[in-house]
Amino acid sequence: MSNKQYIENGALSPEYGEKNLGISTIENNSGSIDNGRYVSTPENGKMPDTMPDHSRAAAETIARMSPEEYALAEKKLLRKLDLKLIPWMTLLYLLSFIDRVNVGAAKLVGLTTELHLTSLQYSNASMIFFVSYVAFEVPSNLVLKKLRPSRWIPFTMICWAIFQTTMGLVTNYGQLLALRFCLGLFESGLFPGLNFYLTGWYKRDEINRRCAFFFGGAVLAGAFGGIFGYALSKMDGVGGKAGWAWIFIMEGLLTFVVAVLSFWMIHDWPDTAKFLTDVEREMVLSRLRKEQGLASEGGFTWRVIKKALVDWKTYCLMLMYIGAAEPLYSLFTPTIIAYLGKFTISQSLLLSTPPYVLMFITTMGTAWLSDKYQRRGFFLMGWSLVGAIGYLLLLTIPIHKPGALYFAVFISSSAVGPLIATTIAWTGNTFGNHYKKAVSMGLVFSAGNSGGIVSSQAYRNKDAPRFLPGHGTALAFCLLNFTMAVILYLGVSRENRRREEQYGPPPGPDEDQEYDSPEYQAKWGLQGMSRKEIVELGDDHPAFRYIL
C-alpha cells in the first residue's frame, strides 16, 4: 500500500482536516499526509465510531509500507485480534449457554419432584427466562454502545451469576420463577452485545467466521454441559443440598469467578486496546474506515433509532432469526433423546453430544465459505431446507425405529448452527450507522430469542414420546427462515442494482472521498445535506452496497 493510498483510504482530506478539525498535516516523500480521524461527536469519546486521533508516527509507519509488507502486517494483526478477543468471548457465551439450559439437567435429577412442579409450571419456569431476555436486549445493546464493554459485560455477568447461584437455594415454584426471570434480565445483553462488539473490530467480510467460532465453540463445549451438570448432581446430600441444587450453585460460582476476571480480560474498543501497538491500533481503525466510510461515524439521535424501527429489513431479519433460533431451542435436549430408547440419564446426556459436534463442523465450514464468497442468503436458504427435512423425518418416522429418528436429529442439527451464525452475520452486515445497527441487532436478537418461549410451550411432556407439535412447529420456523432469506436477498439485490444504475459503482478502496465537496454531493445526490445528515444515512447512503 502506497503512502497516498493509505491516506486516501484511512484519513480525511488535508483540506477538511485543516479547515474543520484544526488538524495539522505532516510531510513525507510523497507529499502531505493528513492525520485526521472521522470525528463527528467528540463528546462520545468512548465509542468506536469517535475514536481519537492517533500518533503521526504510526500513520507515517503504515504509509511507508509496501503492499506486501502491509498484507503481512494485516495478517499478523488479525491473528492477534483473534487470539485476544475470540477465546474469552467463547468462554463467556459458553457460561451463558450452560446457565441458560442447566434447568433441563436439573429436571432430570429431581428438580420437578422436590419442588412439586407440574408440567405447566416447569414449562413456565423455562419460558420466563426468555420473557426478560427478549425485553432487555435492545436497551442493553444501547448501554454497551454508550459505556465501556470491559465494565458493562462483567457487571451483567456478576449479577446473573448471583441469581444463578441462589437458584440452588429455592424451595418453591414462585422463587424459581422469580430467579429465572432475573437470570434472563442480566443474560440478555451478552450474546447480542458480543456480536455487536465484533463489528467494531472486524470488517464485514471477516465477521461470519468470528461469530461462528464463538457461537459454535460455545455450543460444542455446551454439548458437554449436560454431562457436567449430571456429574455435579452426584454431590447430592453434600451440605444438606440436593444434587440439582449443586448444579445451580457450582455453575453460578464458576460464572462469578470468570465475571470478575473479565474486568481485565475484556478489551474496550480498538482505540484504547492496550494489547495493540500504535501502528496496529491505527491499522484496525484504518481498515474499518476504509470499508465503512461515513458509516463509522455518528452519535445517538432519535432519528437514527426511528430509522431502525421503520426499516423493513429489521423486521425481515427478526423473522429470519426467530426462524433459526426456535429450532435451536427445540433440538438435542436429553429429554427428547431419552424417549428414542430405553436409555439411562447418563446415556441420554452422552447421546445428545454428537449432534452438537456435527453442528460445530457445519457452522464453521459454512462461515468460512460464506465469508470467502461474500454470500449469506444462499447458505441460509439451503440450510433452512435441510433443517425442514430433518424435522419432517422426525414427524414421519415411527417411534419403533429409534436409529432412524436419531439420524433425523443429526440432519436437523447440521442445519441449526449455520442458520444462527449466518443470520447474525447478515444482520451485522446490513446496517451502516452504528446506533442503527445497535438497535436493529437488539431487535433481531429479541425476536430470535422469543423462539425459546415458543419452544418451551411447543414441547410438552404430554406429547411424549413423539413430540409431534414441537417438531411440527420447528419445521414451520425453518421454512420461515427460508422465506425471509429469499425476501431479503431479492430486496437488497434489487436495491444494489438500483444504486448501481443510478449512481454507478461504489467508491473503490483507494478512491479519495471529500464528503463536503459539491462534486461529491452531486455525484451521490446529497446536495444541501449537512455532514451530520449524510452520516445518519448509514446504509441508506447511495454508495453503500449490501452483502447478498
Q: pLDDT tens for residues 414-432?
A: 998 899 889 988 988 888 7
CA torsion sign for 353, 358, 360, 363 is: negative
Higher pLDDT, 355 or 389: 389
User: What CA–CA distance (Å, rounded) separates 246 from 230?
Assistant: 10
Over the range 382-395, which residues count as b (16 or more CB within 10 Å of their CB) and which as e?
bbbebbbbbbbbbb
- Asked if omega into 192 is within 30° of 0 (cis), the reply is no
C-alpha cell at 88: 474469552
31-34 and 25-28 strand pairing:
antiparallel
Question: Please, what is the average pLDDT of the chain?
Answer: 79
- Record the cell numbers describing residue 213, joined without a space: 467460532
| pLDDT over 50 (residue 446) | yes
Identity of residue 126: S
pLDDT band for position 512 (50/70/90)?
low
Rg (CA), the chain: 25
Helices (H), 397-512: 402-430, 434-458, 468-503
- Could you tell me if 219 and 360 are in contact, meaning their C-beta atoms sit under 8 angstroms apart? yes
335: buried, middle or exposed (CB in 10 Å: 19+, 13-18, 0-12)? middle
Residue 97 in contact with residue 225, Cβ under 8 Å?
yes
Percentage of the chain surpassing pLDDT 70? 82
Measuring CA to CA, which residue among 374, 318, 380, 371 is closest to residue 548?
374
CA torsion, points 471, 476, 480, 483, in degrees to nearest 10? 120
Residue 5 above 60 pLDDT?
Answer: no
Is it the case that residue 133 has pLDDT exceeding 50? Answer: yes
At residue 294, does pLDDT exceed 50?
no
CA distance linking residue 444 with residue 330, whole number of Å? 19
With cut-offs at 50, 70 and 90, classify the pLDDT of residue 510: low
pLDDT tens digits, 279-290:
888 888 888 777
